[in-house]
Structure 1
């Protein structure tokens, strides 16, 4: 028996789930739990890009990232200057003074690396700030999608942005309506 290649699984799982959702009544039969699946989809990337206030959100985030970049560059210049001084002055310095300058240099390098990690590391400030500025936007999108689902009696809304929808009738696309409502609530 051949096994399914692991690289195919990320594609197959959403397809199988969508097929089960759409054709769920065939598997559930005529029992009390049988219900016709009502499905639609959105493209979350288009929704975010279509949000009128996204540029404000991005500008706030980018200003913080620029400030962190500027600080990192300043620290790096300071390290480069210390390194240059060490190379030029090193041979003429006493052992004690050379050791002192090398320790200062190593301390600055260590501080710089810690700073870079605290900003751009896996749990750094860049990741935290991105989540912070996008969280309210995502929450509003989810609320609007939920309202539309309730109004239309939908029980499943998929996201086309991740590319896991192979085919869907364009009439099932709620993206434009979500964008319209999202921008309408800001006016």
Structure 2
């Protein structure tokens, strides 16, 4: 019996020694409570709308050119048809290239989002890292982006603590 108790005690101590601490945070909640993030989002929305209007204007212009071409098709010579088709294709290509320039994977919107959001995200990351090192957390999960979390105790949610360390009161 003593041997069994010793083994159980050893297993319990080993498990405790390897026990890892976890924490949760809600990145959406944190970012919504950072005014600089909200301003950056608004700025991105405004510039995105402006650029989208530019692209749409070119597409509308190409559409108008095509309608005019269709209406005048019977009156145009082969050479005129060819010239008009090339002009329409050129305008469509211009719209496509502008869209790619602004909204492509390495486009202006991506660069602007990176330049505006990276400093904020880095600051949040540094605070989370600081809290994790202070409290000995091995893992911090974002409940906002991980749909695999079904339940997380509010006791292990460090979102408000992150906001406080960033200097923002809880709303």
TM bracket, shorter-chain basis: 0.7 to 0.9
Separation (CA, whole Å) in 2 of partners of 1:182 and 1:38: 23
1:142 aligns with one of 111, 121, 125: 125
Q: How many residues align?
A: 157
> Gapped runs of 5+ residues in structure 2?
1-10
Which residue matches 2:24? 41
Q: Does 1:180 align with 2:148?
A: no
1:73 aligned partner: 56
CA 48–28 in structure 1, closer or farther in 2 if over 3 Å, else same? farther
Q: Greater CA radius of gyration, 1 or 2?
A: 2
Give the distance between the partners of 1:69 and 1:78, measured in 2 at CA: 14
How far the C-alpha of 1:96 sits from its partner, in A, is: 1.5
> Which of the residues 23, 29, 40 maps onto 2:14?
29
TM-score, normalisation: structure 1 = 0.72
Matches within 5 A, 1:145-184: 145-161=128-144, 162-184=146-168
CA contact (8 A) 1:42 1:159 kept: yes
Correspondence for 1:111: 94
Tell me the CA shift for residue 133 of structure 1. 2.2
TM-score normalised to structure 2 length = 0.78
Moved over 4 A (4+): none
Uncovered stretches (5+) of structure 1, i.e. residues with no partner:
1-25
Q: Using the alignment, how far apart are the partners of 1:163 and 1:48 within structure 2?
A: 18
- Aligned-residue Cα RMSD (Å) equals 2.5
Q: Counterpart in 1 of 2:47?
A: 64
Contact 2:100 2:107 in 1 (8 A): yes
1:28 shift after superposition = 10
User: Is the CA contact (8 Å cut-off) linking 1:41 and 1:157 kept in structure 2?
Assistant: yes
CA 118–164 in structure 1, closer or farther in 2 if over 3 Å, else same: same
Structure 2 Cα separation of the partners of residues 173 and 37 of structure 1: 16
